[in-house]
Amino acid sequence: MAERKGSGKGQRNTLRDVAMRAGVSAVTVSRALRRPEMVSQDLRQRVQSAVDELAYIPNQLASALASHRTGRIGVVVPSLTNGVFGEYLRALHDLLLPAGFQVLVLNSGYVPGREERAIAAMLGQHPEAIVVSGVDQTPTARRMLMAAGIPVIQTMEITDDPIDVVIGLNQEEAGYAATRHLIDLGHRHIGQMAVPLDSRALKRVAGYRRAMAEAGLEQMEISVDEPSTFARGAELVIEMLVRWPGMTAVFCGNDNLALGALFSAERRGLKVPRDLSIVGFNDLEYAQTAYPALTTVETPRYDIGALAAKIVLQIVRGSGERPSERAINLGFRLIRRESTGAPGQLD
């Protein structure tokens, strides 16, 4: 006897396989699964038994496409290991899962070409909306998103030219505020390290440069386009102190770099903030519990994700209307802790 299609190792069972096992037509199986009230209880049980025995997984995409409801929301982020995106993704899941959606997440690795491919792959899954990090998508990715015919929510920064809706903060102003804090404390030799060099990091660098230029101060920068780690922050702060021995403060582009710089400085006998003031960015969980606690810029990552989810739900399951404001700036907050003080003084 010829082996039935779908019964071999690695072959997925089909609706026809279920029908053969239950002894009914494929149309009847489809009806029993999609509209069980239209068939008898005995027939439903026979079909369900066949489904269970064959471990059959219905192809929901075809019927979902017919109704334009796949129950999927696509999310593209630049990293799955960077703690910055943990709260952001948690917010999206917290609001979308109870509403009956599946959240599909792809990682672009801070590479524009990879983000473009991730967006193409995600759109191939026919999501009802897509949420992306940043506003610097490639021209091809931007065209794909604009032509998708679904809500597109850009996040984490602000632009005057969103694809659809953008929710975030002014990254340049945040970098400016962090640098200005050090200048106001009396520092005149202030370094800046940026890793990796994504669009948001570069905007923070622009804020640092603007604050330093306004104060007439020398810019002391090191930028490296690679993943951000504690170890890299530890290495870079020593490199900066060798290059600029008079440096008394450093604005780090994220808390990973700042914590690494803090560890490295203390290990080499430098007292923070007496010998070196350190400012981080994002206010990750460990920033407050570090010793000394990190001065940093708090970014509303959970709120950004939550608002993105609320807007998606409003459009695809609610009124269908976009918010009247297409660029939503949730701001930031500089949190001064123990890692910054006047030059030569403990905080």
CA angle 144, 79, 122 (to 5 degrees): 30
Q: Quick one: DSSP state of residue 36?
A: G
pLDDT of residue 5: 46
- Cα dihedral 72, 77, 79, 81, rounded to 10, equals -50
Give whole-number Cα distances, 102 to 65, 74, 98, in Å.
15, 9, 10
pLDDT given for residue 54 in this prediction: 85
CB 196 within 8 A of CB 223: no
Q: Exposure pattern of 77-91 as b/e (b: 16+ CB <10 Å)?
A: bbbeebebbebbbeb
Report whether 132 contacts 155 (CB < 8 A).
yes
Across the 347 residues of the chain, what is the mean pLDDT of every consecutive 10-residue run? 44 84 88 81 89 77 61 94 92 96 95 94 93 96 94 97 97 98 98 94 97 98 92 96 97 97 95 97 95 97 98 92 95 98 80
Question: In which residue ranges of the chain is CATH 1.10.260 found?
Answer: 15-58
What's residue 199's pLDDT?
A: 92
What does the pLDDT read at residue 3? 38
Interval 33-90: pLDDT, tens: 877 888 888 888 998 898 888 888 766 555 555 556 789 999 999 998 888 999 999 9
- Which of 235, 239, 285, 297 shows the shortest CA–CA distance to 263? 235
pLDDT at residue 8 in the model: 45
CATH architecture of the domain with residue range 171-298: 3-Layer(aba) Sandwich (3.40)
**Phi, psi (rounded to 5 degrees) for 206:** -60, -40
CA distance linking residue 346 with residue 292, whole number of Å: 11
Rounded to whole angstroms, the Cα distance separating 54 from 326 reads 48
**pLDDT (0 to 100) of residue 7:** 45
Q: CATH for 15-58, among 1.10.287, 2.60.40, 3.30.1490, 1.10.260?
A: 1.10.260
Q: Which two tokens stand for residue 1?
A: 């006897």
Count of alpha carbons within 13 angstroms of residue 174, beta-carbon side: 32
Contact assessment for residue 151 and residue 315, using Cβ atoms and an 8 Å cutoff:
yes
User: What does the pLDDT read at residue 168?
Assistant: 98
| Structure confidence at residue 217 (pLDDT) | 98
Torsion of CA 202, 207, 212, 215, to 10 degrees: 170
Indicate where the chain has its CATH 3.40.50.2300 domain(s). 71-169+301-316, 171-298
C-beta separation of 270 from 237 below 8 A: no
- The pLDDT tens digits of the residues spanning 245-286 come to 999 999 999 999 999 999 999 999 999 999 999 999 999 999
Report pLDDT for 6: 46
User: Distances in Å between the alpha carbon of 267 and those of 112, 260, 261, 279?
Assistant: 37, 11, 10, 18
CB hemisphere CA count around 293 (13 angstroms): 11
Task: Give residues with Cβ within 8 angstroms of 320, minimum separation 6.
Answer: 314
Q: Are strands 333-335 and 296-298 parallel, antiparallel or unpaired?
A: antiparallel
Domain 71-169+301-316 falls under CATH 3.40.50.2300: yes
Q: In this predicted structure, what is the pLDDT of residue 66? A: 55
